[in-house]
Amino acid sequence: MKHQIDLEKYQEDALVPTLQDVARQAQVSTATVSRALSQPDVVSKRTLKRVQQAVESTGYVVNEAARSLRKKKSGALLVMVPAVSSPFFSLVMRGLEATATQAGYSILVANTEDDDFKERQLFSYVQQNRADGVLIRGGRPPVQKGEVQGRIPPIVAVNERIEGIAVPTVAVNGEDAAKEVIRYLLGLGHRRIGHISGPVSRASSATDRFRGYEAALREAGLTSTWNHATEYNMESGTLAAREWISLPERPTAVFCSCDEVAFGFNSALYRSGFRVPRDVSVVGFDDIPLAEFSIPSLTTIRQPYQEIGVRAVKLLLEQIQHPNEPLDSVFLKGELIPRESTRRLGE
Amino acid sequence: MKHQIDLEKYQEDALVPTLQDVARQAQVSTATVSRALSQPDVVSKRTLKRVQQAVESTGYVVNEAARSLRKKKSGALLVMVPAVSSPFFSLVMRGLEATATQAGYSILVANTEDDDFKERQLFSYVQQNRADGVLIRGGRPPVQKGEVQGRIPPIVAVNERIEGIAVPTVAVNGEDAAKEVIRYLLGLGHRRIGHISGPVSRASSATDRFRGYEAALREAGLTSTWNHATEYNMESGTLAAREWISLPERPTAVFCSCDEVAFGFNSALYRSGFRVPRDVSVVGFDDIPLAEFSIPSLTTIRQPYQEIGVRAVKLLLEQIQHPNEPLDSVFLKGELIPRESTRRLGE
DNA sequence: ATTGAAAATGTAATGGATTACATAAAATGA
DNA sequence: TCATTTTATGTAATCCATTACATTTTCAAT
């Protein structure tokens, strides 16, 4: 019934009620209506009630475009990711979305496709007053190169640090986590430990993990047996597997830069007749939900993705509210989750 | 250097250049500037050049809020998903994002958390002039119940049909795909075929797949051996596995409602000493990237996720441009990808 | 050179909410 | 009761781009 009416309205290009309409209905000024809605406490109870009734009866909802224009705030945050379909990042998104929504902000998503040009373009979202701040994953924001025209928007880097410019970051401490992995493998008796690293030249996370790997080995008086640098995906894992197979002295344990690489690695080994952890212990990074359900289940570092999202948004909102106070980065702790893909050497 | 300047500007709350500034600089009216930017062909080459130079020198970018207000178009599309972190949907997102961006639209993301209330709230995005249309996954939009106040926005349903209201849908034909799966299993000699279905009561995709499963069996003169209804996630797969194990006459093949369920199922079986496909053939649905790299690799239905995203956005944009012309739904074909998790019975 | 049509540009209203400032009403105090 | 705050409300400017309508310029045709 109601639905019917709405549909008709829609078809005749319904005149959406505005503040004016509410004001007329409630017999007060638009200023009063505006205040009644945004600061109810400065309005008398009597008029407040009148306004609320008028809002109700007109079906008024604020026009965000008008509000944005006037307040010079869009009420939106831009999320820039190389690939929205990354399993790990999509988990972080939940935290981002939930926190932003709770704070009354909406989330704009843009894929950078790892493309400098797009990244530059996307920053214009803020200049265009489409977004009040940017959450960026990936280490090459245009500001780094002084290429951004106009004002520099509030930014928070997620997962990856951004070098060369003071942008607060929210990420797991990858170096510490990597060390933990290596110490764990050492504790299992492994001495020849290899590492399939991520895109070290581009991603700080990959660098950090690599650094932690080397440092922990050094601590134990060892050095890297084998390192293979790749991308964060499964194909990379299979390529690395081929290389591992061809090694004269194969590492007995391999620390992968992320779970997907580990899956690709395991999968390729499996197809060549090798078994994990019988022939090699494998550790991932991220703990995406599948890690627990893969065969074998994957020993990995659990990243608190929800919290990463939450903290990143909070940091960004703080920055938006107080543009000139520099904020500290947040580095969270990753947790080692031992599962089936690793075993004590020789057992 | 430039960076320095920008920073200063920012700190003194830089006055962002407006159309007026460009007009002044180019010594033309704001109308001319506006036209030069949006319809370059109605402006003389001479003034066009002047305007372009002025834009360049002032660093002008359009204020989307002002534009939205005036045009009554936000230039954004809202994506409503139960869970942004769903591996499959995040793949669809790529197509959505790319197509929208190309058409000059941005993407707003909102999690519905499978929550009616939130869904209702989120529709207000359109009323608020934050979004021009909605891409929704999940079958219970408020319009269905006549609960939406105000105008009904352009909607396209993605992956799930919406019953009871004429909303164009973009999805794979789940019934056909399910039939293909069953025929394939029959062709491998299986006769006792079970199905782990999705949330049949809520998701049309689950219903369709279930229907196709039953229909194909009926075609072959068989009936369902075992059906277990669950959610689209891995935990559900493990629960189903327990049940499968306890069956007196276990199906020799199980068609899972999605890849994640299949992974959960396989994983639980593995831990109980069963082997896939030795003890049971397993088929998934979706073909998320991991399906190829799991152990065993998963026979599944490949959904053209990229295309789903592309088509959905195109359909939505058409709807936005021609609000009164009803559009047909698009049903794409899923493709069976045979892999290691299925085998000929008795081989 | 003159007229009419076409092309280019300008003027000013418009979209809808917010807010500085002004005024009115109510509350407080002497 | 009158003066003085305090509280509540109103007036009107403002945010910035778009566009209907008006005006001017250009050009072709006679």
pLDDT bracket for residue A24 (50, 70, 90)? very high
**Nearest residue of chain B to residue A143 (CA atoms):** B3
- pLDDT for the residue numbered B151: 54
Strand D contacts (Cβ < 7 A) comprise A 27-32, 35, 42-44, 46-47, 66, 69-70, 72; B 16, 18-20, 30-31, 33-35, 37-38, 60, 62-63, 66-67, 69-71
Q: Smallest Cα–C1' distance to nucleotide D13: which residue has it?
A: A70
Residue nearest to nucleotide C14 (CA to C1'): B70
Distance CA A265, CA A234 (A): 7
What is the residue-level pLDDT of chain B in tens, covering all 347 positions? Answer: 222 223 333 333 457 899 999 999 999 999 999 999 999 999 999 999 999 999 999 999 999 999 999 999 999 999 998 888 889 999 999 999 999 999 999 999 998 876 666 666 667 788 888 999 999 987 554 554 444 444 578 999 999 988 767 789 999 999 999 999 999 999 999 999 999 999 998 899 999 999 999 999 999 999 999 999 999 999 999 999 999 999 999 999 999 999 999 999 999 999 999 999 999 999 999 999 999 999 999 999 999 999 999 999 999 999 998 887 889 999 999 999 999 999 999 87
CA nearest to A18 within chain B: B128
pLDDT at A149: 44
Residues 6+ apart with CB under 8 A from B191: B222, B252, B345
**Nearest nt (C1') to A72 (CA)?**
D15
Out of B65, B98, B150, the one facing A68 most closely (by C-beta) is: B65
d(CA A108, CA A300) in angstroms, rounded, equals 31
Is residue B330 within 8 Å of residue B295, measured between CB atoms? no
Size of interface A-B (CB pairs under 8 A): 208
Closest Cβ opposite residue A85 in set B11, B59, B90: B90
* Residue range A92-143, pLDDT digits in tens: 999 999 999 999 999 999 988 766 666 666 677 888 889 999 999 875 545 5
Residue of B nearest to A76 (CA): B108
pLDDT of residue B159: 93
A24 touches strand C (CB under 7 A): no
Q: How far is the CA of B89 from the C1' of D16 (A)?
A: 37
Distance of C1' in D4 from CA in A28, Å: 27
> Residues A311-324: what's their mean pLDDT?
92
Q: Give the pLDDT of residue B88.
A: 92
Asked whether A286 and A300 are in contact (CB, 8 A), the reply is yes
Find the Å distance, CA of residue A161 to C1' of nucleotide C6: 59
Q: Which residues in chain B have Cβ-Cβ distances shorter than 8 Å to A62? A: 128
Q: How many CA atoms lie within 13 A of A316 on its CB side?
A: 31
pLDDT score for A2 = 27
**Residue B154 has what DSSP assignment?**
P
| pLDDT at residue B117, as a whole number | 63
Asked if A1's CB is within 8 angstroms of B61's CB, the reply is no
> Chain A closest CA to B220's CA: distance in Å?
34
**B98, containing H or E segment:** helix B87-102
**Contact between chains at B294 and A292 (C-beta distance less than 8 A):** no
pLDDT for res B323: 82
Instruction: Tell me if A266 sits within 8 A of A342, measured CB to CB.
Output: no
Q: Is B166 on the interface with A (CB under 8 A)?
A: no
Region A309-328: mean pLDDT is 92
pTM, to two decimals: 0.90
Tell whether B16 is within 8 A of chain A (Cβ). yes
B-contacting residues of A 259-278, CB under 8 Å?
A: 260, 263-264, 266-267, 270
The strand C neighbours among B residues 257-276, by Cβ under 7 Å, are none
| Contact state of A125 with B143 under an 8 Å Cβ cutoff | no
Which of A128, A266, A295 minimises the CB distance to B63?
A: A128
Select the residue from B109, B135, B149, B270 to test the A interface by mutation, using most A Cβ atoms within 10 A: B109
Is pLDDT of A7 > 60? no
Angstrom distance, B124 CA to C10 C1': 39
- Between residue 67 and residue 106 of chain B, the positions with Cβ below 7 Å from nucleic chain C are 69-70, 72
Pick out the nucleotide with least CA–C1' distance to B43. Answer: C8
Q: Which residues of A touch B124 (CB under 8 A)?
A: 61
The CA distance from B176 to the nearest CA of chain A, in Å, is 27
Sign of CA dihedral A228, A232, A238, A241: positive
Whole-number pLDDT of residue A139: 58
Cβ-contact A87, A233 below 8 angstroms: no
Q: How far is B62 from chain A (nearest CA, A)?
A: 6
Establish whether the CB of B27 is closer than 7 Å to any nucleic acid atom in strand C: yes
CB within 8 Å of A53: residues ≥ 6 apart: A26
Partner-chain contact A3 B146, CB within 8 Å: yes
Closest CB to A128 among B64, B79, B267: B64
Residues of B in contact with A90 (CB under 8 A): 84-87, 90
Q: What is the mean pLDDT of chain A?
A: 89
CB B265 within 8 A of CB B242: no
Cβ distance of B61 and A289 shorter than 8 Å: no
Q: Do the Cβ atoms of B139 and B206 come closer than 8 Å?
A: no
Q: Are A163 and A322 in contact (CB under 8 A)?
A: no
Q: Flag whether residue B83 sits within 8 Å of chain A, measured between CB atoms.
A: yes
CB contact under 8 A, B16 and A127: yes
Q: Which two tokens stand for residue A57?
A: 């009866």
Could you say which of A85, A110, A124 has the minimum Cβ distance to residue B91? A85
In sequence order, what are the beta bridge partners of B300? B337
Q: Are strands B106-111 and A106-111 parallel, antiparallel or unpaired?
A: antiparallel
Is the pLDDT score of A34 beyond 90?
Answer: yes
CB contact under 8 A, A109 and B94: no
pLDDT for A180-223, tens place per residue?
Answer: 999 999 999 999 999 999 999 889 999 999 999 999 999 999 99
User: Is B90 in Cβ contact with A10 (below 8 Å)?
Assistant: no
Q: Which two tokens stand for residue A115?
A: 């493309």
Cα(A225)–Cα(A275) distance, rounded to whole angstroms? 20
Q: Is B322 on the interface with A (CB under 8 A)?
A: no
Distance CA A120, CA A74 (A): 20
Look at residue B3 in the predicted model and tell me its pLDDT.
26
d(CA B36, CA B13): 28
The alpha carbon of residue B21 is apart from the nearest alpha carbon of chain A, in Å, by 14
Chain B residues in contact with A125 (beta carbon < 8 A): 106
Report whether the peptide linkage leading into residue A87 is cis, meaning its omega lies within 30 degrees of zero: no
B39 CA, D26 C1': Å apart: 20
Report pLDDT for A30: 95
